[in-house]
Copies of this chain bind each other. A is one copy, B any other.
Amino acid sequence: MAGSRHDTAAPRPTSRDVARAAGVSQATVSLVLGGKWQGRVAEPTAERVRAAARDLGYRPNLAARNLRLGRTRTALLVVPALTNEFFARVHTGAARVAARHGFGVVLYPAPDVTAPARDPFDSARASLDGVLASSMASEALAAIRGDELPLVMLDSDPAHSLGAATVNLDIAQGMRLAAEHLLALGHRDVLHLAADISSWTFDVRRDALRSALHGTGARLTTARAALAVDAARTAAEAALTASGARPTAVICDDDVLAAGACKAARRLGLHVPDDLSVTGFDDLTLATAVEPELTTVALPAERFGEQGMDTLIAVLDGRTPEPRPLPVRLVVRGSTAQGPGPRR
């Protein structure tokens, strides 16, 4: 009557159905399809089982398998926001490695993690084998259930990841590269436009900048903004019109912020890069979409996700891989140019 194609509701065949069709016991089916039949089942029998499984369109019931094995081959990936292209790329890498090992990935966008005081793992309907937690929400996460599941932290504060394996991008090196690039161009008054996120991330970046500029006579000022174009434009506009010498270069924590800085410059009648150099971070699609194209620090986001998942799987296997920060590189494009230089 309903006319749907789900009328028949043909129940999915089980391993027992396959066994019946192949004329063997259910255990034999499990052995053959589980790949552990070496020397336990004769080849002709094994082939008969495989054929029966194929004919019936048999697919093992994951819930039953998970229950039996006590693990799910599923990992949770916690990110601040998937709409941030960087994290989408991290997910891509993590999911690729996971698939290679027969693992699935469930996503948890962190913003809600702390707010509703709900258990973050409730939303992950699958039971989980482990957690891959990206920095920004990891403090909250670690506090909530840090030691209940194997955990790998992505780029997080060592102070908050006690005992958990960590995978890092060399963020500090990225900031240094940007700073040195601007120094080489003759800039001596630099604004750091920072993303308004976790304090640890902020500290790492600012400290790296400070040490890079130390002893060069360059001046460093700081402004913070939420991770959005408008917020960045507003903050940059304020910082660039503040009393005192106007910075000739802006180092941004993110390409999105850099885009905002460029808009601020335009509003103030400054030309990028001639009047103001701007550097971004992440090398998102955005970086080459704007005019001029952004000089930015390219992060191996997918490799980051891959290595994170590799590490998690290693931890699950009882191994402990040595943490080695992933290298970053500076991509020089059109948003940076010669500054006032040392001629002053």
Range class of the A interface residue count: 35 or more
Given A89-B83, A286-B289, A290-B291, answer yes or no on A124-B104 (Cβ-Cβ < 8 Å). yes
In the complex, whether A150 has a CB less than 8 A from a CB of chain B is: yes
Do residues B288 and A285 form an inter-chain contact, with CB atoms below 8 A? no
Across-interface contacts of A103 in B (CB, < 8 A) = 125
A108 to chain B, nearest CB (A): 9
Across-interface contacts of A127 in B (CB, < 8 A) = 61-63
**How long is the Cα–Cα vector from A63 to B230 in the complex, in angstroms?**
45
In the complex, whether A163 has a CB less than 8 A from a CB of chain B is: yes
Closest to A318 in B: B2
Q: Say how many copies of this protein the assembly contains.
A: 2
**How long is the Cα–Cα vector from A47 to B126 in the complex, in angstroms?**
28
Closest to A146 in B: B5
From B91, B124, B286, contact of A285 by CB (8 A): B286
Given contacts A63-B66, A99-B123, 4 further A-B pairs with CB under 8 A are A5-B163, A63-B64, A82-B88, A263-B291
Chain A interface residues (CB < 8 Å from chain B): 2, 4-6, 61-64, 66-67, 72-74, 82-83, 85, 88-89, 91-92, 95, 99, 102-107, 109, 123-127, 147, 150, 163, 228-230, 256, 259-260, 262-263, 266, 285-286, 288-291, 318
